[in-house]
Each structure stands twice: as C-alpha cells, then as structure tokens.
C-alpha cells in the first residue's frame, strides 16, 4: 500500500483544524492509501507561542508588564485545557508521524518517508495567520523529484506582492494543485498556474453520516441556541441572546476561554471535539463567525446565521455563494426573521453532491497518477 504524508495545520487547538485533518485522512484511506499526518508543530501553535503573542493583541498589554503577566496567567488555564482537548482527539483519531518536527530544517534533516507528499487543507498558505510564508507548508523539505500535490489548501486572502516570487517558486514542485476558494484559484492563476482546481473543504467532501457517528449525544435532550464566537463580536452575542429569549431556549456558548463565562448565556468551556459536533447537530439554531461551524451547520441541516469576521470572511462568503445561500451570512444587520427563514436543504444537498463528484474526479486523477509512479 502506497503512503501519503500530509502536512496541514492540526496542532493549533482548533475544532475545524483537527476535523479537516481527520476528514483528509479518511478520504485517502478510502482511496486505498496509507495516510499519515506529519506532526509539524510550530511554536506559533503552542501555548508558549500563544502567550508570547498576547502583547501584540493590545497596546495596553504591550506597554504594561504587570497587566501582561496577569493576562498570561488568565490565559494559561485555557491554553492547558485546549491542549488536553485537542491532543486527545488527535491521539484517538489521527495517524501522526512518530517523530514531531518543529521547523522546516528539522524536516529537511529527517525527511518523512512516503510515496507522495500532500499540502492539506485549512489556511495553510495564509501568510497573515502564519506570520509570513512558511516553507514547510510548501513542501520545501521534500526530496527533489518527489510526487507533490495539494488538497483543498487555503490562502484565505490575496497574495502580497512581496511574497509572489517566493510562493511561485515553491509551487513549481507540485504536480497537482487544488484550493478551497475561488479567490485562491485566481491568485494562483495570476502567478502563472493555470490547472488549479477548486474543491470543497474536506469536512464538506465527507457526508454528514461521518460526522453524525462522531458527534456526542451529551446535549441531545436539551433545547438551545448555540454560539461559536471566535472573534468576540458583541453584535453576535447580543443577537443570540435576543433569539434565545424570544424562543424560550437555553443559550450555550462554545468557547476556548474560561473567562468568557461573562458573556450572555451559559459557557461550554472547550468541549471535546465530539461534543462540539453534537452541540451543532442538536441545536435549534447556530450562530457563529467560523467557517467550519458554518460547514457543519450546513451538513446537519440547521437554521443558522454566520457573522462575517473582519479579516477572515472569504471562506464563509465563498461557500455560501457556492451553495446559493448568501443570505445566511451577515455583517451584523440581521433580524430573528432572517434566521427563521426556511433553507432548501434538498437543493443544497444536490449541489454538494455535484461538487463532491467533481472533487472525487480530482482526487482520483491524483491517486491514479500516484499508483503508476
């Protein structure tokens, strides 16, 4: 059995990141390959890195050492809980390389052995989130002549002029390129790469039977509105509170941070990945500013509204547009009547299935080429 080594963002303690990693693995296994995720752990994705970056979040923290130390003490508790939650899911469900790598150079010094190398999904080519071009995510470490391809990689924004030459040079090693967003296709086309395929995020390529099996039943007997507010949007919280009150429902808030207990409703502090899926599946309404919460709301046929975050809305806008439901996204001007409007999920499922057929054609093309290598 041939082996694919996949590099992706899986250690940054995020529900979407670990679930897309799992979905990618399941997909390649279904296609007849062994799939292993390279355990690439940047400092950026650790609690140490997160604590270092706290001072960048506000001028007050940067200029006041005592305030910064207090903030670190508060956040450390949440970071420890996050690591425990997501490491448990990775240990139980994802095939990780035995060796952990912490830099592109470490990967070069001890290259994971495989028949092919894949740059996977999530915002792996987003230089804003990665704080620059991360060469490992462009498979800079692989041996010359190795079989390289991407699967649903995300750029998440326009490529900066200062990075175009570097990125273009890195992509020359790829035999096949696929990305998630239409803007990402255009960005790579502008660099001279014509045969770029747009595909679904791996969590949407898998049908919801996969996610229903994985989801916890812990919240199944409760009637509630659930929020997932990554960007601390007060408008989102206010809307959710009004909706829950109007409908006589409990308000549950998924958050990584224990201090979000001050928000309206009841805090569900860093639930397990399985509980996260169950909370979305079993909610009466879902209100979020997250791409993957949007994706799972669609998978589970929920009534939902997605608030566009200021700096990372492209992915949400793109999937809502592809499925002809742009009205489910908002900058904040939304009423209870808007979330109550029926969604034609029969038509949406047909559209998703058509996109899945296209994605399967891309994946089979890649895999057939790999089989004859």
Mean pLDDT of all residues in 25-41 = 97
* In the predicted structure, residue 146 carries a pLDDT above the cut 90: yes
Tokens of residue 147, six digits? 């079989």
**pLDDT value of residue 54:** 63
* DSSP secondary structure, 206-244, as one string: S-HHHHHHHS--TTTT--EEEEE-TT--HHHHHHHHHHH
* In the predicted structure, residue 297 carries a pLDDT above the cut 70: yes
**pLDDT value of residue 10:** 95
For residue 318, what are the CA distances in angstroms to 185, 198, 294? 12, 11, 11
d(CA 75, CA 153): 30
Which stretch of 69-78, 203-212, 257-266 has the lowest confidence by average pLDDT?
69-78
Band of pLDDT at residue 8, cut at 50, 70 and 90: very high
- Burial of 286-304, coded b for 16+ CB within 10 Å and e otherwise, reads bbbbbbbbbbbbbbbebbb
Q: Confirm if 118 and 21 have CB atoms less than 8 A apart.
A: no
Measure the CA dihedral 186/192/193/199, to 10°.
0
Mean pLDDT over each residue of the chain, to the nearest integer:
92
**pLDDT value of residue 207:** 95
Q: Confirm if 337 and 314 have CB atoms less than 8 A apart.
A: no
What residues does 150 pair with on adjacent strands? 119
Band of pLDDT at residue 69, cut at 50, 70 and 90: low
pTM of the model: 0.94
Mean pLDDT of all residues in 245-258 = 96
* In the predicted structure, residue 23 carries a pLDDT above the cut 60: yes
Band of pLDDT at residue 299, cut at 50, 70 and 90: very high
* In the predicted structure, residue 55 carries a pLDDT above the cut 60: no
């Amino acid at each position: 059995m041939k082996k694919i080594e996949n590099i992706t963002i899986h250690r940054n303690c995020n529900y979407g990141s670990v679930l897309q990693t799992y979905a990618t693995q399941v997909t390649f296994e279904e296609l007849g390959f062994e799939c292993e995720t390279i355990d690439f752990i940047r400092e950026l994705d650790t609690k140490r890195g997160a604590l270092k970056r706290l001072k960048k979040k506000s001028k007050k923290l940067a200029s006041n050492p005592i305030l910064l130390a207090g903030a670190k003490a508060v956040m450390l508790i949440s970071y420890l809980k996050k690591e425990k939650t997501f490491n448990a899911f990775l240990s139980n469900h994802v095939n990780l390389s035995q060796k952990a790598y912490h830099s592109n150079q470490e990967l070069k010094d001890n290259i994971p052995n495989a028949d092919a190398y894949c740059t996977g999904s999530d915002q792996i080519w987003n230089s804003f989130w990665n704080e620059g071009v991360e060469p490992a995510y462009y498979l800079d470490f692989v041996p010359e002549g190795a079989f390289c391809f991407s699967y649903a990689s995300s750029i998440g924004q326009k490529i900066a002029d200062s990075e175009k030459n570097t990125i273009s040079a890195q992509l020359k090693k790829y035999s096949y390129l696929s990305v998630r967003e239409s803007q990402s296709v255009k960005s790579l086309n502008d660099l001279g790469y014509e045969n770029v395929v747009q595909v679904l995020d791996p969590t949407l390529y898998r049908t919801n039977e996969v996610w229903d099996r994985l989801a916890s039943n812990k919240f199944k007997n409760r009637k509630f509105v659930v929020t997932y507010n990554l960007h601390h949007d007060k408008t989102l919280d206010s809307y959710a509170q009004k909706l829950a009150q109007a409908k006589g429902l409990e308000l549950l808030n998924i958050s990584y941070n224990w201090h979000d207990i001050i928000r309206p409703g009841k805090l569900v502090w860093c639930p397990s990945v399985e509980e996260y899926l169950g909370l979305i599946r079993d909610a009466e309404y879902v209100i979020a500013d997250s791409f993957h919460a949007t994706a799972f709301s669609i998978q589970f046929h929920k009534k939902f509204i997605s608030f566009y975050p200021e700096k990372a809305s492209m992915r949400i806008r793109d999937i809502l547009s592809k499925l002809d439901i742009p009205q489910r996204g908002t900058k904040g001007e939304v009423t209870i009547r808007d979330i109550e409007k029926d969604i034609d999920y029969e038509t949406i499922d047909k559209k998703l299935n058509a996109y899945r057929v296209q994605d399967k054609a891309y994946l089979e093309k890649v895999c057939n080429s790999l089989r004859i290598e």
